[in-house]
Amino acid sequence: MKTPIKFSKNKVNSTQHQILVFALLTLQFMGTIACSKGGGGFNASTPNSSSVESENNAPSVDLNNTDGRRGSAFAAGATADLVGTDLGTLTAYVGNQHPLNNPTDLKVSIKLAEVSAGANKFAGNVYISYYDNGKYFTGSFSAGTGQNPSSGNHYPQALHASYNNWITYNNQNGFHGFFQDNQGAIMVVIESIADQNDGGGGTEGSGSIWFRNFGVSQIATKPNLESTPCWFITAGPYDCRTLLVPGGFESDGKIDSSSALTPDQSKYWTTPKSHPYHEEDPRRGWRKLGNFSKLNLKKAFSQ
């Protein structure tokens, strides 16, 4: 609430009165601009005012309680700080969406649910958010509960959340899942679980976030990613597959969710000759964005 201006009981002349009126009108105009500002996140072309922090309300005091300032959807999920990220990596993640200055307060929010009881396939939303240039930028990534079309792809009627599973890898329980927006994809990986000795089993998870931007081409037609997500596309710049094993369409690899936990552990990868948009490397262009810990698993995997 703005502190009201107290006027002196002494009579003011007309010039002083005009100055005061002008100052009040200027303050009111600037306040209107600050309240009406919007901004984007990873998808700067689709602004979301709920994910933007006004410059006049910058979180200069408490950076440990900023979830609500990023929007109700972000606050509804299980949130955790993302650490171990450098400016170069975050710049690569943002791509050409907007310039970075001094990003801080990087966090992730995860809200998933099993597509059906006992399916071990999880759909939902993941948000990545940071504060820069006087506002929050929050990217939204999703894996839906739908299925691929019955034709026009190599995995007809496959569940979009098919590879978002809890697995046992190297005698360790973990989770990984693919999520996308219209600029690229991310992978959530939970690599360890902490038991809080409350009788409810492991309740906190630690892991990492990986990302892969689409290699935009002037000649490639953008597919309908809502219909067939990028992890079911087998060629071109919108192929975001990793965790590959030999086999698949034209023997160019297929995802085996149980074969690896993180992209760098993949057992098979393609060559530039058949897949010029991808590195000849197990990760196939995937990079680690950062690490998280103390993620509330019960909240992240709500029913």
- Which H, E and C letters describe 244-300, residue by residue? EECCCHHHCCEECCCCCCCHHHCCECCCCCCCCCCCCCCCCCCEEEEEEEEEEHHHH
Q: What does pTM read for this prediction?
A: 0.77
Residue 173 has pLDDT above 50, yes or no: yes
Percent of the chain, pLDDT > 70?
75
Predicted confidence at residue 251, as pLDDT, reads 80
Name the DSSP class of 96: T
Give the confidence band of 12 by pLDDT, cuts at 50, 70, 90: very low
Contacts of 51 by beta carbon, 8 Å cutoff, 6+ apart: 39, 41, 70, 71, 74, 129, 136, 137, 138
Residues 98-136: pLDDT tens digits? Answer: 899 999 999 999 999 999 999 999 999 999 999 999 999
Residues 225-256: pLDDT tens digits? Answer: 999 999 999 988 999 999 999 988 878 899 99
**Beta-strand relationship, 122-132 and 135-143:** antiparallel
Taking every pair of C-alpha atoms in the chain, what is the biggest distance, in angstroms? 89
Name the DSSP class of 2: P
Residues 139-169: pLDDT tens digits? Answer: 999 999 999 999 999 999 999 999 999 999 9
What 3-state DSSP class applies to 232?
helix
Token pair for residue 278?
């991808």
